[in-house]
Structure 1
Amino acid sequence: MSFFKGKSSLSSSSNGDGQLCDDIEKNIKMLEEHFCHTEDLMKKELRFHNQKCVILYLDSLVKKELLQASIIEPILEMKSGEMEKTVHAAEIKRTSTISEAGKQLLDGFCMILIENNPQAYMASVGGIEGRAIQEPNSERSIKSTHDGFVEDFSSNLHLLRKRIKNPQLKVRYFTLGNLSNTKVGMVFIENLANKELINEVERRITSIEIDQLYSTGELEDLIEDNPFSPFPHILATERPDRAVSYLTEGKITIILDGNPRVLVVPITFFAFYQTPDDYNSRWLVGSFFRIIRVFSFIIAISLPAIYIAIVSFHSEVLPIGILYSIRVSLEYVPFPPLAEAIAMQIILELLKEASIRLPSPIAQTIGIVGGLVIGTAVVDAHIVSNMMIVVIGFTAIASFVAPINEMGTSARLLGFPTMIAASLFGFFGIVFVLMLIFMHLSKLDSFGTPYFSPIAPFKKEDLKDSLIRLPLWKLNTRPTDAKPAYAKQQGQTRAWKKK
């Protein structure tokens, strides 16, 4: 049987549907069987109202000091009263099934069994420390906030609620994975998000049947519209300010427990080239850098191909001085320009991967010294030309400009078919491939939203915050790509000018 097929034999074979009874020893035995007699299921016997009381918990998921202070000591000190009023847990609930008790234990609860009582009390004693909130390394900002999402679900939800202090901010919980039981949260603003969009996202999430789900990348693969497209259809961010800005546009964020990246749907192409710093600078500055980023996408795709086309077919477009310099550098190179470009692109990816996987001090050495040594060596050995090193360097810089790493990687990948077309047909091949790419962009959808909006289809009103950013007082309406319930987002923000 396939490991990723619906209900696995591992999850269905466990004895998790038993009902608790008056026999405390039988209840303990059923719970131990439910957890396959794992050795980190701890038991502690006490007396409560002259009755036997047993506390069970998973040693790796509870905070011992909290368990002792809020559960054990109150039970030992209290001579009469109800259990709910005795313990000092932040949350306490009752259950009568082994399966529900098992789920609560895996969430950091402890189970309190009392003799001759067919119900169990579940008290929250979780609190294992996670990673502190800090700025994400992959999405650094100069003028914006410096906090980021972490692996803890509650902390990530706190970062959103801290910024949107509104009762309309709504969360829906799901549990995915028959074995992993991963907690997933869909967050949106109730009176703003489009109802059809909410239902569509919920339908895609609830239709997932899988044994394990640990990362947002896996969830993205399962719910995106066009999995074979080179472009990312869902934006994954570690920045709370970016996620909040999309929530206020009527979009939906998806939080996955144990993962510091939050998914945003639906999304458009131009969103991958926008940063929070655009709104913390004057609008002219923000617009200038946004245009630079979008232009870098074209450079990353076509610059090596343009060089190959000029050298192979269209040398007459260059001034004689530059053409002479290129011809001299190519005189002793035995490989065609296409082979040079592909080889250098692969070396660039190898250097990038090596710098990511190695420890930071070594990675810096590999990135700087390795690049210089390899670049100098291949030129001196007449394997590639000087001009090719310059072209690949500009291409790498242009692809790294993208604020979201996935889009920069997609641009570099698309450079390979563009280079092949340029080596075969020159400028005509480049134009043909670029035409196919933009046709593909115009055809894509993200949860019912045109991916290349507001260019295709053309929406004049949405241009004010896509390729450029107009002043804030001009942004009176929300973007229409997510079809929000109402478009207006601000009134007369510069009313003081009329006084």
Structure 2
Amino acid sequence: MEYRTPPNNELVSGEIALDLGMLRTTFERSSDVVFREFQLGDTQAAVMIFLDGMVDPLIVDSDIMQPLLKYGEQMQQKSGVSLTGLESLLKNQVITASQVNTGGQIQDVIDHILVGDTVLLIDGVNKALFISARGWGKRAVEEPATEAVIRGPREGFTEDLLTNITLIRRRLRTPQLKIEGMQLGRLSKTDVAITYLEGIADEAVIEEVRKRMNRIDIDAILESGYVEELIEDSPFSIFPQINYTERPDRIVGNLLEGKVGILIDNTPFALILPVTFFEMMQASEDYYQRYIVSTLIRLLRYMFLVIALLLPSLYIALLTFHQEMLPTSLLLSAAASREAVPFPAIVEALLMEISFEALREAGVRLPRPVGQAVSIVGALVIGEAAVSAGIVSAPMVIIVSITGIASFIVPSYSQAITIRLLRFPMMIMAGTLGLYGVLLGVLFILIHMSRLRSFGVPYLSPLAPLHASDLKDVLIRVPWWGMVRRSTETAKNNPRRMKGTLRPRPPKRGG
């Protein structure tokens, strides 16, 4: 039977039997909907409606039910209940819950029940009271599993939107922090919050975010990935144009740079936009360690990024087309190891890379203790057996292992997946055209990245277009006292982060 919602203009009639019959029909075959009927005084019928499991029973009992029954006893002694302004009296003087609102439409009653509020209907009163008594099981605030750090806060977002907003409020105690709420999903009615710092974030970007979010018309939003795909600039690009995180400190750091955050109920992953390629290569811990250490680690990341993308391709190209570029001893060693291998280098590399990716995916999907054993033992056993059987050469196993390790160094998981996928067309280009194919592949990737935008911000900013003042936080990280200004692209309204110079000065030596 097709479900039909009440008309949008259907009003609460004040006849409790009629209204209650309509609500019972709407929620029929829903065993978790509770209809608690009672009397105010001797003759005044009333009913409380709520979802079992989504309300706090202590609040319902102590802040709603007990005050109402006590008020009914008092009015009974005064010979009846007066209906004139009764809902206002109950709201302002009787019910002790923190939030109480009124509404006159049946659809409002249904919506408030479904979000976990308690609805009070009274016979003869054509207004419903919406009482906030929400309470359900929540996951405790824990350290994020996907973004662990050695030094830094251990708090991570949870699946509860209000908890996540609180984690941000604790770090930004300013009225400039704005949080705009909305609901997405015709059936799920998922709560979403757009957060930014007024006076720092670009108003044009904020307005563009609002426009794209309001354009979403879908039956349900179950995770932030839904929203990411529906609002990104280039949906057919393999590169992620919106970053995500489950660390409050990271999203606060981005808000201070003029970015916009999107928090979505029922998921611990918040979206950050706009974003650039170089920001995907930065970790929150870069700003907690000393700048020298952070700079060296960043350079290491970029070096291994190139290795993760190009090492198998370069190995294939050199062995297949450009043997003269290898030292003689290395060439002889590689030729000897491949003497019994029946496949060309491109087929050998593809077999090993696909097997390695399958083992890595299996390790992620299996239960954690079993997954670690499968990924590690499987790689060792299969690699050793493949070399012993003469299917692959020992140098290829080393190349694939180094490439796999290099891909783990990329901080952003979505960016790491992109590099892993681009590795395969790069190997095919190397197997067909040699180093020329590798060069063409790199040029194609760079041209594509230079055309990408993330909410109007160039993907390769601040290198393309060049903003020399922003290079202090790309390949290197200068000390905090040197980062006086924010990013040029995202904080045009308020580019200055600090006043004057905070560079430490050594004390003057006495005479």
Q: What interval of TM-score do these two structures reach, taking the shorter chain for normalisation?
A: over 0.9
When residues 400 and 73 of structure 1 are mapped into structure 2, their CA distance, relative to the original with a 3 A threshold, is same
- In the alignment, which residue of structure 1 is the partner of 2:25? 33
- In the alignment, which residue of structure 1 is the partner of 2:78? none
Instruction: Choose the corresponding residue for 2:56, options 58, 63, 73.
Output: 63
Using the TM superposition, give the Cα deviation of residue 481 of structure 1 relative to its aligned residue in structure 2, in angstroms: 2.3
- In the alignment, which residue of structure 2 is the partner of 1:278? 286
Q: Secondary structure at the match of 1:145?
A: coil
Q: Secondary structure at the match of 1:463?
A: helix
Instruction: Choose the corresponding residue for 2:6, options 15, 21, 30.
Output: 15
- In the alignment, which residue of structure 2 is the partner of 1:6? none
Between the two proteins, what is the percent identity of the paired residues?
37
- In the alignment, which residue of structure 1 is the partner of 2:82? none
- In the alignment, which residue of structure 1 is the partner of 2:90? 83
Using the TM superposition, give the Cα deviation of residue 496 of structure 1 relative to its aligned residue in structure 2, in angstroms: 6.2
Q: How far, CA to CA, are the matches of 1:16 and 1:213 in structure 2?
A: 24
- Structure 1: which 5+ runs fail to align? 1-8
- In the alignment, which residue of structure 1 is the partner of 2:182? 174
1:388 partnered with 2:380: no
When residues 162 and 35 of structure 1 are mapped into structure 2, their CA distance, relative to the original with a 3 A threshold, is same
The one-letter code matched in structure 1 to 2:23 is: L
Q: Give the TM-score, by structure 1 length.
A: 0.95
Q: Secondary structure at the match of 2:170?
A: helix
Question: Cα RMSD (Å) of the superposition?
Answer: 1.6
Deviations 1:419-478 (A, max 9, x none): 111111111110110011111111110000000011111110110011110011010000
Q: How far, CA to CA, are the matches of 1:498 and 1:480 in structure 2?
A: 32
Using the TM superposition, give the Cα deviation of residue 493 of structure 1 relative to its aligned residue in structure 2, in angstroms: 4.2
Deviations 1:73-93 (A, max 9, x none): 221223258211212212110
Deviations 1:2-37 (A, max 9, x none): xxxxxxx967x3125321012011111122233345
Alignment check: 8 A CA contact 1:75 1:86 kept? yes
Using the TM superposition, give the Cα deviation of residue 367 of structure 1 relative to its aligned residue in structure 2, in angstroms: 1.5
Q: How far, CA to CA, are the matches of 2:39 and 2:210 in structure 1?
A: 46
1:48 partnered with 2:68: no
The one-letter code matched in structure 1 to 2:392 is: V
Q: How far, CA to CA, are the matches of 1:383 and 1:26 in structure 2?
A: 77
**Aligned structure 1 segments of 4 or more residues deviating by more than 6 angstroms:** none
1:146 partnered with 2:154: yes
Q: How far, CA to CA, are the matches of 1:467 and 1:261 in structure 2?
A: 26
Q: How far, CA to CA, are the matches of 1:229 and 1:391 in structure 2?
A: 28
Instruction: Choose the corresponding residue for 1:208, options 200, 216, 220.
Output: 216
Instruction: Choose the corresponding residue for 2:277, options 269, 273, 293.
Output: 269
The one-letter code matched in structure 2 to 1:39 is: S
Count of residues paired in the alignment: 490
The one-letter code matched in structure 2 to 1:392 is: V
Deviations 1:82-140 (A, max 9, x none): 21121221211001111111111111111111110011111111110211111111111
Which stretch shows the higher mean deviation, 90-99 or 57-66? 57-66
Q: How far, CA to CA, are the matches of 1:296 and 1:233 in structure 2?
A: 22
Instruction: Choose the corresponding residue for 2:370, options 350, 354, 362.
Output: 362
Q: How far, CA to CA, are the matches of 2:21 and 2:302 in structure 1?
A: 63
- In the alignment, which residue of structure 2 is the partner of 1:334? 342
Using the TM superposition, give the Cα deviation of residue 406 of structure 1 relative to its aligned residue in structure 2, in angstroms: 0.8
The one-letter code matched in structure 1 to 2:5 is: S
Q: Give the TM-score, by structure 2 length.
A: 0.93
Alignment check: 8 A CA contact 1:173 1:186 kept? yes
Using the TM superposition, give the Cα deviation of residue 352 of structure 1 relative to its aligned residue in structure 2, in angstroms: 1.2
Q: How far, CA to CA, are the matches of 1:273 and 1:358 in structure 2?
A: 28
Q: How far, CA to CA, are the matches of 1:496 and 1:211 in structure 2?
A: 56
